[in-house]
Structure 1
Amino acid sequence: MTDTISTDDILGKVTEIFREIFDEDDLVLTMDSTADDIDKWDSLNHISIIIACEMRFKVKFQTAEIESLKDVGELVDLIRSKQSQ
């Protein structure tokens, strides 16, 4: 049986990643946050986010999974699903 991390814990760690990448210590993410909500969230930063998440959570995303993400909540759910495999 594997230990599963809670959605809130994943969101907290994803928030830490975003704060590092965007250099904004007070950045607040919600499950509904999108690239439109964060000024500096461009394609290059998006790649940095994905790589940082793969490293932090020890998961590997498929290109199709990354392309289908609509918001932070979907990223959190994807990470959670990968960790339970």
Structure 2
Amino acid sequence: MNKEEALIEVNDIFKEVLDNDDIKLDYETSADDVEDWDSLNHIQLVVAVEKHFKVRFTAHEIQTWQNIGEMLDNIIKKK
């Protein structure tokens, strides 16, 4: 799996969890850029991503992400 393929799958997860088909993520997208991506939804998004990709993130990894690109880097590293 490459970063572009992972981005497409993560984008679909965000659309489903946040119930918003208009979401279009890119590598630089952060929580500030997406309506309804608050701290509560962040947990739900991380859990959904972990389930989908069958990976587990540490609290440290999650806290250091500045954008979607960094999340994707962690996904690819764990696959």
Summarize deviations over 1:32-65 as a string: whole Å, max 9, x none: 0000101211011100111001000000101100
For residue 28 of structure 2, the aligned residue among 22, 26, 32 is 32
**1:8 pairs with 2:4:** yes
Please give the TM-score of this superposition, normalised by the length of structure 2.
0.96
Q: Any gaps of 5 or more consecutive residues in structure 2?
A: none
- What is the Cα deviation at residue 23 of structure 1? 0.9
- What is the Cα deviation at residue 81 of structure 1? 0.4
Look up the match of 2:52. 56
Q: Provide the rounded CA distance (Å) in 2 between the counterparts of 1:57 and 1:28.
A: 20
Aligned length: 79
Q: CA RMSD in A?
A: 0.6
Summarize deviations over 1:14-43 as a string: whole Å, max 9, x none: 000100011111210000000010121101
- Aligned residue type for 2:24: V
Which structure's CA Rg is the greater one?
1
